[in-house]
Amino acid sequence: MGTGEQLVTIAAVLLGALTTHLTNYAMERSRHQRELVTRWDNRKLDAYGGYVDRVRAGIFLAVQLYEHREGLRRSEHSEVEMVAEMAEAERYRGRAFEQVMLLGGDDVVEAAHELNAATVAIEWQATGKTVGTLEEWRERNRAGFRGINAFHEAARVDLGVQGNVSGEKHPERDLLLPAARREDDGQAT
Res. 87: pLDDT tops 80: yes
Q: What is the pLDDT of residue 182?
A: 44
DSSP, collapsed to helix, strand or coil, labels residue 165 as: coil
User: Would you say 68 and 79 are in contact if contact means Cβ atoms under 8 Å apart?
Assistant: yes
DSSP, collapsed to helix, strand or coil, labels residue 76 as: coil
Q: What is the mean pLDDT of residues 154-160?
A: 94
Res. 98: pLDDT tops 60: yes
Question: How many C-beta neighbours within 10 Å does residue 79 have?
Answer: 13
H or E stretch including 145? Answer: helix 134-159
Q: What is the pLDDT of residue 185?
A: 45
Higher pLDDT, 14 or 80: 80
Which residue(s) pair with 188 in the sheet?
A: 181
Tens of pLDDT, residue by residue over 9-58, are 888 888 888 888 788 878 878 776 776 556 678 899 999 999 999 999 99
Instruction: Please provide the size of the chain in residues.
Output: 189
Report the mean per-residue pLDDT for the chain.
87
User: Would you say 88 and 123 are in contact if contact means Cβ atoms under 8 Å apart?
Assistant: no
Please, what is the Cα angle at 25 between 19 and 30, to 5 degrees? Answer: 125
Q: What is the mean pLDDT of residues 102-110?
A: 96
User: Would you say 107 and 153 are in contact if contact means Cβ atoms under 8 Å apart?
Assistant: no
